[in-house]
């Protein structure tokens, strides 16, 4: 074993993803991760005190790959309705791409996310906050007529759940799905419009 190796949390997470890909969630262990890193499992535990904390960190890393690019859209300048539509479409595309590009790992991450409830809740809150940021801009621009930004953001997140929640992934390959997305987004954006925009 090479205990002289400088371990970082990021390196451990990278290797953990590889181990999960090879062995699957049910069989992958911290010992497998340590073996792949050529260190003792105690070295891994110095960064992640339990198997659960390591799994939570892997789930968070995966979810951050979705939310970080969306954060850029949420912080952009420009008309809020176009940004909200672009943000939602980017969310749907990111989740769809993960299912199509690596279905086995998607299934693994889905199982991880079901275990990491606090991580998933934080992810949902982060996404809702991004929507709220766009809605606030829309109010300032006179584009949206909203009284409760936070509640409206969560309602938009919930109303679009069929298009981004992994539990609905089997539906995403339906040829009619893009038209359903278009119809929902048109309805949502119309419902948010300020009266002077109608």
Closest CA to 197 of 131, 145, 148, 132: 145
Strands (E), 15-151: none
Q: Long-range contacts of range 158-162, CB-CB < 8 Å, 24 or more positions apart?
A: 159/184, 159/188, 160/88, 160/91, 160/92, 160/184, 160/188
Over the chain (198 residues), what is each successive 10-residue block's mean pLDDT? 72 93 88 93 93 90 92 96 98 89 77 83 96 97 96 97 89 92 96 82
Query: Distance between CA atoms of 68 and 1, rounded to whole angstroms?
Result: 36
Q: How many CB atoms lie within 10 A of CB 100?
A: 12
Query: Distance between CA atoms of 65 and 57, rounded to whole angstroms?
Result: 12
Burial code (b: 16+ CB inside 10 Å, e: under 16) for 5-21 equals eebeeeebbebbbebbe
What does each C-alpha distance from 113 to 31, 45, 57, 84, 148 come to in angstroms? 22, 21, 10, 26, 29
Give the predicted TM-score (pTM) of the model. Answer: 0.88
pLDDT score of 42: 92
Task: Give the list of residues 6+ apart from residue 172 with CB closer than 8 angstroms, or none.
Answer: 95, 96, 99, 163
pLDDT score of 35: 94
Q: What angle do CA 148, 145, 121 make, to 5 degrees?
A: 35
- Domains of the chain by range and CATH? 9-49 (1.10.10.60), 59-197 (1.10.357.10)
pLDDT score of 2: 55
pLDDT score of 71: 97
């Amino acid at each position: 074993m090479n205990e002289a190796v400088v371990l970082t949390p990021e390196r451990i997470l990278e290797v953990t993803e590889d181990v999960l890909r090879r062995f699957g969630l049910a069989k992958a262990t911290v010992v497998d991760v340590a073996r792949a890193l050529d260190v003792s499992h105690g070295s891994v535990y110095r960064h992640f005190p339990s198997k659960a904390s390591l799994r939570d960190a892997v789930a968070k890393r995966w979810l951050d790959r979705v939310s970080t690019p969306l954060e850029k859209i949420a912080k952009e300048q420009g008309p809020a309705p176009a940004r909200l539509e672009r943000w939602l479409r980017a969310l749907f595309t990111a989740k769809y791409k993960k299912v199509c590009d690596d279905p086995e790992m998607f299934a693994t991450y889905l199982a991880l996310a079901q275990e990491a409830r606090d991580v998933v809740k934080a992810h949902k809150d982060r996404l809702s906050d991004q929507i709220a940021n766009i809605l606030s801009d829309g109010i300032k621009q006179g584009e949206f007529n909203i009284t409760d930004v936070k509640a409206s953001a969560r309602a938009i997140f919930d109303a679009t759940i069929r298009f981004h929640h992994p539990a609905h992934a089997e539906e995403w390959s339906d040829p009619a799905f893009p038209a359903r997305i278009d119809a929902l987004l048109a309805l949502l954006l119309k419902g948010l419009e300020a009266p002077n925009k109608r």
